[in-house]
Homo-oligomer: A and B are copies of this chain.
């Protein structure tokens, strides 16, 4: 095989931030890519919505607004899908795979919802379908989970996998800003989108956790299986109180395999200041993995941004090019060969932190503790923070408790006449 003369043609779908970054790398690194794969990469087409629009640095002769131009071109071997969203990305990816083309995508929405369908199409045609950039941007995590850690039974993944919320929480924590102020700052600096819902409500993180869990536990986890809770209710007070107890508040994705199924959830959490994830600041992402042989490993880096995401896409493209050169496409296929149940959040166990305003008179604390205790929630720590005008401010950290029991206890507890207000109910690592 004369690998040196081989040219592999690819098409980029979408020329937004990441698409233009991928195009830039593929132009800048022609020689390196040849050395690394044995073939030249040629971007033959770029699919855009408006083909009359001028685009900085892009050879306009490559531009098309017709998907069939790409799908029906037998010379195009790799389709790099960077449009995002479900439709028409899903149709294009499926049609590309059905046409025997290799696919690289950064589309977490698509994979977290239709991963099984897309994977099945890839398997049927023995095609590569790679998606490192869909989770945690530049951080290599999909390939390590599928390959480097394949000699392990992975039991747990904990991740800070959304840069926007980590930026907001870092600002709140380090400057005392309110949630709204920090969100405004994130928007101003381009870390938050005009509509930040998917980020701040934990949906984006939930999609990434679904994708990683499916690989780590070899069983499909859908986005709809993941419990998600965002950071919109976190107050500067919560953060201040948490710090007094030696904790930092982070939006965490948590997934683990238990005897009776998979737990997969995203919610704010107090983690000890000395935990490695506590020092992950601003828009950085980090993923912590526990495997039975390897013990703990942590991966940290840029979770978003044009070039970091493009870097992850190009890592996949290089891998696909090697597979094309060696005629081994499809060599790393589906990870999901089991059918584990995904547990409901109410079945998980955790510790809780909460702040309470209660009547300040003798016996109230005993009353509170006994009501919680009668409902199965025992108190690990309670501190009275202040008292004024007959009201005491208490902070409680519970022992580990099944979420359902805690919810039930909380209902009874909130009904107590001595309890005036319960706020800042946040889980504790």
Contacts and interface: CB of A to CB of B under 8 A. Distances in A.
Nearest to A143: B148
Residue with the greatest number of chain B CB neighbours at <10 A, chosen from A148, A296, A301: A148
A107 interface: no
A295 B312 CA distance: 11
Number of copies of this chain in the oligomer? Answer: 2
Contacts of A308: 293-295
A21 B294 CA distance: 11
A291 interface: yes
Interface string A20-31: 010001000100
A74 interface: no
A331 interface: yes
Given A149-B140, A317-B151, A328-B327, A297 B301 contact: yes
A294 B319 contact: no
Given A144-B144, A147-B318, A328-B327, A153 B32 contact: yes
Nearest to A21: B293
Given A35-B337, A293-B25, A294-B311, A143 B151 contact: no
A294 B298 contact: no
A150 B318 contact: yes
Nearest to A284: B296
Interface in A308-365: 308, 310-315, 317-319, 322-323, 325-328, 330-332, 335, 337
A319 B147 contact: yes
A201 interface: no
B313 A151 contact: yes
A279 interface: yes
A138 to B, nearest CB: 4
B331 A326 contact: yes
Contacts of A147: 140, 143, 315, 318-319
Given A35-B337, A151-B313, A301 B296 contact: yes
A293 B307 contact: yes
Contacts of A298: 298-301
A323 to B, nearest CB: 7
Given A151-B29, A315-B149, A138 B294 contact: yes
A218 interface: yes
Interface of A: 21, 25, 29, 32, 35-36, 132, 138-140, 143-144, 147-153, 218, 276, 279, 291-302, 305, 307-308, 310-315, 317-319, 322-323, 325-328, 330-332, 335, 337
